[in-house]
Amino acid sequence: MAGLSNPASAMPTHASFLYSRNVLNFLTLVITDGELTPDFDDEIVAGCCVVRAGEIVHGPTRDLVVGKGTS
């Protein structure tokens, strides 16, 4: 018999590793020399931003809060 006898039991560990890797990669995009320096021209950074300078910039969130058809 080859492989794990209970593959589902190993999934949380792998999921945690993948999640932490994603968080690390995102933080490297928005932190430079220990300072928060998000580049809003970057597609990933811009896509993750919900509010900037007091304005809701994430379209779906803005539609839910303000109402559809309103910018």
| Beta strand 35-36 pairing with 51-52 | unpaired
User: What pLDDT is attached to residue 33?
Assistant: 96
**pLDDT tens, position by position, 20-63:** 999 999 999 999 999 999 999 999 999 999 999 999 999 999 99
User: What pLDDT is attached to residue 69?
Assistant: 60
Q: How much is the pTM?
A: 0.68
What pLDDT band is residue 1 in, cutting at 50, 70 and 90? low
Q: What is the DSSP string of 5-57?
A: S-GGGGHHHHHHHHHHHHHHHHHHHHEETTEE---TTSHHHHHH--EETTEE-
